[in-house]
Homo-oligomer: A and B are copies of this chain.
C-alpha cells in the first residue's frame, strides 16, 4: 500500500506533533530512537518533508524540527504523496492503464471502493487530531 519510507515519515510527523512546537524543536537524534528508525534514514526523510513544507525546521544551535500550528493542520495523505508519490495509491491494482470504474479490470470492483475509503480517511483527519488521540490514550504511537 505504501512504502517503509512513508511509514517512517508518518511516525516521525506524529511524534513531532505530540512533542514539538515553535518553541520546542527536536533534533534528529532525539527523534530516531523513540520511533525506532535509523537516524541517518529518518534525517533524510525529515529533510524531504521540510523541503515540501509539511514540517518546519531551523538550522544551527538550538535548531531542530518541529510542527507549526499550520503544519499540524496537514494530514497523513500529504506525507505519503511527498514521500511515495501518490500514483501508487490511486492506480489500478493490476497496473492496467485503461482501468477505471466504467472500464474496469477484473478486480476493480473488489478493491476500488474500500481503497478510496482509505484514501479519504487518510486525508480526513488532521495530524493534530491524530496526535490528540495519542495524548488522551485513544491510540498509541511508540515502537
Give residues in A with beta carbon < 8 Å to B. Answer: 1-2, 4, 7, 10-11, 14, 76, 93-99, 103-111, 113-115, 117-118, 121-122, 124-125, 130-131, 133-134, 138-141, 143
Contact = CB atoms under 8 A, between A and B. Distances in A.
B1 A96 contact: no
A2 B95 CA distance: 11
Contacts of A99: 140
B106 A14 contact: yes
Contacts of A115: 1, 114, 118
23 contacts: A1-B1, A1-B93, A1-B115, A2-B93, A7-B93, A10-B94, A76-B107, A98-B143, A99-B140, A105-B139, A105-B141, A106-B131, A106-B140, A108-B139, A110-B124, A110-B125, A113-B117, A114-B114, A114-B115, A114-B117, A114-B118, A114-B121, A117-B117
